[in-house]
């Protein structure tokens, strides 16, 4: 069994708001990034922007349930939503157990929502390579909102910062003390902090975040609010939504939104450039050579910089002049 996808037919269906076509275009983009331009060239006339919300935090803090709870309220207001939920790919088998959608069953049949689970497929930073491309597909589809839910992250996986306009960092009771809050990384990127699982406490965590914010400067003029929620019962979610609206308004009225959009595309452009350079590199340096210098490094580990330098001694990068 093997399905063949015809891009032109899918694009026609996509423009009629067909979800099957949207799902299949996502698969093509995820599996064949080289075909992205064939797809996107059909959307050049579309000017629609979606508002992108990022939800991040450690594994098990309730990101998926919270995504479902936020989506439920946005749907009630008549908004259309595209959800992207990322879970990790196994470094051993290459497989993945994607268990985010199961938390959103309640909203899954609403005609105005589309939910896609993605495996990270070796990409770092808590997302997958295809995430930005899929946000573009959702924008072309006309979604009002996009919610990106990251992999359960640690301290330093914050690529979501480059992709979303409002970032919600989700924490739970027992997260850590005042020292933990001073660390760089994930704790710095929140536009809104949510201490979930409110039924278990968490007022101390909220207070620690508040103290951490007291020592921060807010260049954009936005002091991140702190909310406590119970994503299962929905307690506190209305307040969280209010804060999302406030932040959205804040960045729309200042230059911050256009700044964030610039970051979003600069990030992707850089990534595409690296992707191209990777292909060039792979064509220049083969696996045998890599094995050879790895063996040499085992003989003398202090040589590693020199070995790589030598490998590049006969490589010359040059741009042809475009005349």
Binding positions for another protein, rule: CB under 8 A: 1-5, 19-20, 23-24, 26-28, 30-32, 89-90, 92-99, 101-102, 105, 108-109, 114-117, 119, 121
Nearer to another protein, 90 or 258 (CB): 90
CB of 144 to another protein, least distance (A): 18
CB of 31 to another protein, least distance (A): 3
Nearer to another protein, 94 or 176 (CB): 94
Please count the residues of the chain.
323
CB of 1 to another protein, least distance (A): 6
Nearer to another protein, 96 or 189 (CB): 96
Burial zone of 291 (CB within 10 Å; 0-12 exposed, 13-18 middle, 19+ buried): exposed
CB of 4 to another protein, least distance (A): 6
Reference 70, options 149, 175, 150; nearest CA is 149
Is 51 strand, coil or helix? Answer: strand
Nearer to another protein, 1 or 298 (CB): 1
Distance CA 50, CA 218 (A): 25
Nearer to another protein, 9 or 281 (CB): 9
Q: Which distant-in-sequence residues (6+ apart) come within 8 Å of 210 by Cβ?
A: 226
CB of 114 to another protein, least distance (A): 6
Distance CA 171, CA 61 (A): 6
Is 41 strand, coil or helix? Answer: helix
Q: Which distant-in-sequence residues (6+ apart) come within 8 Å of 87 by Cβ?
A: 96, 97, 98, 99, 100, 117, 118, 119, 120, 151
């Amino acid at each position: 069994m093997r399905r063949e996808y015809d891009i032109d037919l899918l694009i026609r269906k996509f423009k009629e708001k067909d979800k099957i076509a949207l799902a299949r275009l996502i698969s093509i983009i995820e599996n064949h990034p080289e075909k992205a331009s064939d797809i996107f060239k059909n959307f050049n006339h579309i000017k629609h922007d979606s508002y992108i919300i990022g939800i991040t935090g450690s594994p098990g803090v309730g990101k998926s349930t919270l995504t479902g709870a936020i989506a439920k309220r946005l749907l009630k207001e008549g908004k259309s939503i595209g959800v992207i939920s990322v879970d990790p790919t196994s470094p051993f088998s290459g497989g993945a157990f994607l268990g985010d959608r199961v938390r959103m069953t309640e909203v899954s049949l609403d005609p105005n929502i589309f939910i896609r689970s993605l495996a990270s497929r070796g990409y770092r930073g808590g997302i997958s390579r295809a995430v930005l491309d899929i946000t573009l597909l959702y924008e072309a589809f006309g979604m009002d909102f996009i919610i990106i839910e990251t992999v359960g992250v640690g301290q330093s996986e914050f690529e979501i910062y480059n992709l979303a306009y409002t970032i919600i960092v989700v924490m739970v009771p027992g997260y850590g003390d005042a020292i933990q809050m001073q660390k760089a990384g994930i704790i710095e990127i929140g536009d809104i902090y949510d201490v979930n699982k409110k039924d278990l406490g968490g007022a101390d965590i909220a207070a620690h975040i508040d103290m951490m914010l007291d020592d921060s400067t807010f260049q954009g003029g936005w002091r991140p609010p702190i909310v406590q929620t119970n994503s299962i019962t929905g307690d506190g979610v209305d307040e969280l939504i209010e804060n999302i609206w406030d932040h959205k308004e804040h960045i729309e009225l200042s230059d911050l939104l256009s700044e964030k959009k610039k970051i979003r595309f600069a990030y992707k452009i850089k990534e595409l450039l690296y992707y191209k350079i990777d292909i060039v590199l792979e064509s220049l340096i083969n696996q045998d050579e890599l094995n050879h210098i790895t063996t040499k490094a085992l003989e003398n580990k202090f040589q590693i910089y020199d070995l790589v330098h030598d490998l590049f001694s006969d490589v010359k990068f040059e741009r042809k002049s475009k005349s």
